[in-house]
């Protein structure tokens, strides 16, 4: 699933969502949503994403000349996980400064110094590989090495989308998609994850996403009126008689 939120200054935000391997026209779906918010072809756009290949390809297709950034939330989240893994390993010879090295990597990335960040991750990988070869039964060490290898690939693949986060933050510009994480909770988790114990087909999940996003965007009634013109006539009749207009609510 791909979900997100489009935010425009002084305007209401809009949410979108779809199952990528089911939706036949995902690019068109996102483009139509942006167009409904008044997007102009020469308008500046800033895309913030988690760096996944599918999402990155989608945003580059829509607007290759826009600003495309890897969001800080996902970068620091991965470093935080590795820091938690590293706790309890600093007593091992060769890993005395492992937590400080992770902090250095975070500092380099915050300032947009991708070259030094990747170099420091490489040194960290080498230290972990050497120690792991002597302690092959250490599960915690093996997990940290795997996480470091994945993090190197993650940063390397997204190196062109890593800005100087410190400068952007200083000037009040967006650096994080943490607000999109709340959208994930609104659109997906409430129905599909948390304590629901449900199983979803690809089609069912995709269709539910359309209902959820339409509901959250206050567009569901308009869509029903488009499908069933009789609803519009009923609404007009109720208005003329000062009766309460029924609303469509789905749970």
Q: Helix, strand, or coil here: 166? A: helix
Per-residue model confidence (pLDDT) at position 193: 57
Q: Where are the alpha helices (DSSP H) in 53-161?
A: 53-62, 72-86, 98-110, 114-134, 139-157
Indicate if the pLDDT at residue 171 is higher than 70: yes
Give the confidence band of 251 by pLDDT, cuts at 50, 70, 90.
very low
pLDDT value for 233: 60
pLDDT band, residue 163 (cuts 50/70/90): very high
Q: Burial code of 23-38, b = ≥16 C-beta within 10 A, e = fewer?
A: beebeebbbebbeeee
pLDDT of residue 112: 95
Q: What is the mean pLDDT of residues 123-140?
A: 89
Confidence grade of residue 96 (pLDDT, cut at 50, 70, 90): confident
Strand partners, 16: 4
Residues 21-38 have pLDDT tens digits of 777 777 777 777 777 777
Q: At what angle do helices 72-86 and 98-110 cross, to 10 degrees?
A: 170
Tell me the two tokens of residue 246.
């029924």
Could you tell me whether strands 2-6 and 14-18 are parallel, antiparallel, or unpaired per DSSP bridges?
Answer: antiparallel
Residue 149 C-beta-side C-alpha neighbours within 13 Å = 9
Beta bridge partners of 69: 48
């Amino acid at each position: 699933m791909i979900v997100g939120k489009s935010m425009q200054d002084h305007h209401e935000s809009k949410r979108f969502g779809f199952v990528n391997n089911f939706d036949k026209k995902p690019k068109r779906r996102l483009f139509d949503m942006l167009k409904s918010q008044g997007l102009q072809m020469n308008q500046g756009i800033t895309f913030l994403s988690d760096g996944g290949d599918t999402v990155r390809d989608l945003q580059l297709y829509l607007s290759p000349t826009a600003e495309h950034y890897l969001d800080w939330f996902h970068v620091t989240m991965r470093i935080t996980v590795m820091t938690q893994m590293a706790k309890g390993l600093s007593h091992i010879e060769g890993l005395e400064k492992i937590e400080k090295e992770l902090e250095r990597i975070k500092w380099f990335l915050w300032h947009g110094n991708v070259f030094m960040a990747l170099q420091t991750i490489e040194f960290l990988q080498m230290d972990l590989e050497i120690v792991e070869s002597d302690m092959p039964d250490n599960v915690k060490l093996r997990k940290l090495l795997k996480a470091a290898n994945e993090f190197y690939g993650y940063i390397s693949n997204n190196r062109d989308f890593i800005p100087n986060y410190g400068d952007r933050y200083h000037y009040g510009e967006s650096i994080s998609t943490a607000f999109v994480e709340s959208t994930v909770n609104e659109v997906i988790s409430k129905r599909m994850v948390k304590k629901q114990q449900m199983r979803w087909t690809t089609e069912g999940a995709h269709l539910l996403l359309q209902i959820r996003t339409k509901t959250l965007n206050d567009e569901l009634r308009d869509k029903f009126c488009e499908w069933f013109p009789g609803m519009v006539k009923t609404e007009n009749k109720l208005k003329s008689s000062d009766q309460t207009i029924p609303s469509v609510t789905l749970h």
